[in-house]
A = this chain, B = another copy of it.
Amino acid sequence: MKKQTQATEASINVFKALADPIRLAIIRYLRQHDQALSCGEIGQAMQISKTSGSYHFKILQEAGLITVRKVGREKFVKLDRVTFDHYLIHFWQNL
């Protein structure tokens, strides 16, 4: 893979994060519930292992598509609309 500008690298991370059925299902689930949810609850709803959940939440977070807040031993996750808007809604402006 070639060397990229910062801007391109960030886009690539966003599109990679969106390019997976589990992660898209997580996004859909968060959208439907319209609030922060714990990783555990989402993982159960997706029927994936804790390890796999941890991996996918990390990818989403590093892409900037979710924000994470730790409360006690749980982590609550919610969609970051700013990132979605930037890379999707305003795709052409930011390409």
Contacts and interface: CB of A to CB of B under 8 A. Distances in A.
A92 interface: yes
Interface string A78-95: 000000100011011001
Interface in A11-46: 11-12, 15-16, 18-22, 24-25, 27-28, 31
Nearest to A22: B2
A88 B12 CA distance: 14
Contacts of A16: 15, 19
A37 to B, nearest CB: 16
Interface in A23-80: 24-25, 27-28, 31
Max chain B C-beta neighbours (<10 A), residue from A18, A20, A95: A18
